[in-house]
Structure 1
């Protein structure tokens, strides 16, 4: 097989934690099986919101990794206001939770750093890669965003090396992402964001989306867009430790980052009602949080009857998080409530699917997540206005659990394995 070379430009790379790192880490792991040699270009001194050393084991042994220095203004921002740490993960205080410092910081972030605060890495990277590409044969370059500033590296390279194919990979949308409207943009800044996004769409040979709806929206905006979803790695799913025995309680678990813009208040209300009105449920029920839960959300839940049922484990390594998924009864996933977010498919849903556990999902109507849950028979999707139907769904699952009849559901999930998704990527390439 004639091996071709693919240069992957990514901000997130182990030991970065969280979902952003796993997409191209897993592609890099399996690409050699399909005739592609991956080379990674990533910052030497990044400012990661989360660290997870356990992901280092997935980095292929002989992988070439090129690192150059990056300057980011986040350290300055965090001195101004410690809640600015949330910005690194795309989180914001909203509504009445916003202090004047938060408002100022958001305004500065949206209007001074376009498209984002990693933009200072663009010019040095372009300069470095111009020399590298003159001396090394590369067939395809990939830019993975967010941060979407990395797509500007691809745009500049494409203009100078038109024979090299460029894949712009959007793990999340740019101007269509829910928090975009919270950036307090001036008309001029908004226009600049949209102009840069449009240039990326028009110049990339292929734009990859992680959801069906995003791919459709990108095509409407001029991109040659295709969808390759995120997925689960069978080797991760098969390594759940012996410790991950099922809980003796009926345990609902949220794994990952939970922020104010994706807070399922109607779920907490339904659970609060259930523990108050159903003594059998109250005696057997538990909520587990694994990851970073926004302080305001935690405070609000702790003011309700649910305070005695919370098991907050904080951030855990990826391996341990999978163990916690496997020991749960049901798994919670949330999306932004607005219709423009129906195309977002949170990456962890695929790892949820691999466990065979029932999933309860929250987001806009007709969301892509809802289609996946229907196709795999793995759970149910609700909007943020649903209430009584949530209680009925949870109670039905509780009764099945009590009688020992809550069986595993994981139909049609092979299409979401990382190896099969990489095969699809190699066919596109």
Structure 2
């Protein structure tokens, strides 16, 4: 069994979408000959604490080394505590201020403690490979430093693009140059890179050219075990109505306005009545969105469950009639930004994606049970909802293609990652110097 030093800032007992990919890789890697040694922060203040993920981690029982991260929400090193919901407009302002001073991100204070702990591990354990998943990109800085000093091959995993990320659009030229220098230094040290889709990796290759390491697409996915779980659903299913569910938070890049306006317009146009549809939200709704729901007259057809443990959230996916998602990113950013799509796919339920052209839209079009609406058109959303409602009334909602769905099973994806690890670990040093 080979050992991989697995650097992940987001890890249980923290909840949220950023935890799923590293957790599921850790769950299955041993089945493919790799023992993960996890380096992550000590518990601190979390906006989402998920007991179901903490319990799952206990069952996996990997080697975990937790360090004091010295970041805003982990500075105390205290027991895990959940912090109240912070309005998105406040978090946006905080992020903009932090981006002026903290490079590569607001987790910079975690780099030094993580590097120190990694070397403590290396002195006691034979490590064959270093793996880092980002964001935060501070993970990659830490991992590349450990690789540089130890000579251990490095694989960098990108859940989001770094230089080609939409948040770079808000930065000054001097900030972009600094970010490019940081990313270039990490890639120079890396022997391999994994990313969610071909659009992401292609964009990076165009920037860095020959300096770009060996790369492989390993998409987000779903864990089939989660969908076998017998956790009871908490969804307040409305009989005789089309039950539509959104799972997750709303950020500045995926606000629900066009969807809600599309529902309102569909009702005004007579496509269906308010009594024929119900909207469910799990993850939390900020006050601005609640006001919009009131303004559009949809309050009596909406239920907000707030943040739910992962297993309950998955149970609700299975019970709903239709799932929906939105990505308002510029059409220039075609890569997949959310793992939500793949959890939806795991449910094998019909999905409405409000999306630009790109990887996510292509996946939905191949899925079998997918519908795609334009991100800037409430009219198009209303039209798609009309179509969906009509086929639902007839009991003819399209089914997912099971053979297509199975390619996104987390266990199989972990097998692909392990095979890539085997390839990279055979190299005695980073491929590019």
Kindly state the Cα deviation for residue 424 of structure 1 after the two structures are TM-superposed: 0.7
Kindly state the Cα deviation for residue 247 of structure 1 after the two structures are TM-superposed: 4.2
Distance in 2 (CA, whole Å) between partners of 1:22 and 1:195 is 29
Aligned twin of 1:375: 366
Aligned twin of 1:194: 180
SS in 2 for 1:341: coil
1:123 has 2:112 as partner: yes
Distance in 1 (CA, whole Å) between partners of 2:252 and 2:277 is 24
Change (3 A) 1:230 1:191: same
Q: 1:391-410 CA deviation, whole Å, 9 max, x = no partner?
A: 22211221222222225323
Q: Contact conserved, 1:145 with 1:151, CA < 8 A, in 2? A: yes
- What is the correspondence of 1:240-389 to structure 2 with a 5 Å cutoff? 240-241=230-231, 243=233, 247-248=238-239, 249-278=241-270, 280-364=272-356, 366-389=357-380
Aligned twin of 1:79: none
Kindly state the Cα deviation for residue 281 of structure 1 after the two structures are TM-superposed: 3.0
Q: Contact conserved, 2:137 with 2:162, CA < 8 A, in 1? A: yes
Q: Which residue of 151, 155, 171 corresponds with 2:159?
A: 171
Distance in 2 (CA, whole Å) between partners of 1:102 and 1:199 is 28
Q: Contact conserved, 2:350 with 2:400, CA < 8 A, in 1? A: yes
Kindly state the Cα deviation for residue 74 of structure 1 after the two structures are TM-superposed: 5.1
Q: Contact conserved, 1:266 with 1:384, CA < 8 A, in 2? A: yes
SS in 2 for 1:141: strand
Q: Contact conserved, 1:211 with 1:345, CA < 8 A, in 2? A: no
Kindly state the Cα deviation for residue 255 of structure 1 after the two structures are TM-superposed: 0.3
SS in 2 for 1:313: strand
Which of 370-379 and 245-254 deviates more?
A: 245-254
Kindly state the Cα deviation for residue 177 of structure 1 after the two structures are TM-superposed: 2.1
Distance in 2 (CA, whole Å) between partners of 1:376 and 1:218 is 27
1:213 has 2:202 as partner: no
Distance in 1 (CA, whole Å) between partners of 2:376 and 2:270 is 23
Q: Contact conserved, 1:301 with 1:307, CA < 8 A, in 2? A: yes
Aligned twin of 1:391: 382
TM-score normalised per structure 2: 0.87
Give the aligned CA root-mean-square deviation in angstroms. 2.4
Distance in 2 (CA, whole Å) between partners of 1:142 and 1:279 is 51
Distance in 2 (CA, whole Å) between partners of 1:124 and 1:31 is 25
Aligned twin of 2:141: 152
SS in 2 for 1:257: coil
Q: 1:143-164 CA deviation, whole Å, 9 max, x = no partner?
A: 11111111111111121112x1
Change (3 A) 1:402 1:241: farther
Kindly state the Cα deviation for residue 242 of structure 1 after the two structures are TM-superposed: 5.1
Q: Which residue of 19, 22, 26 corresponds with 1:21?
A: 19
Change (3 A) 1:280 1:170: closer
Distance in 1 (CA, whole Å) between partners of 2:276 and 2:7 is 48
Change (3 A) 1:281 1:379: farther
5+ residue gaps, structure 2, are 76-82, 422-433
SS in 1 for 2:312: helix
Q: More relative contact order in 1 or in 2 (CA 8 Å, sep 6+)?
A: 2
TM-score normalised per structure 1: 0.88
Kindly state the Cα deviation for residue 122 of structure 1 after the two structures are TM-superposed: 1.1
Q: Contact conserved, 2:368 with 2:401, CA < 8 A, in 1? A: yes
SS in 2 for 1:339: coil
Kindly state the Cα deviation for residue 205 of structure 1 after the two structures are TM-superposed: 1.0
Change (3 A) 1:199 1:85: farther
Q: Contact conserved, 2:147 with 2:189, CA < 8 A, in 1? A: yes
5+ residue gaps, structure 1, are 77-83
1:413 has 2:411 as partner: no
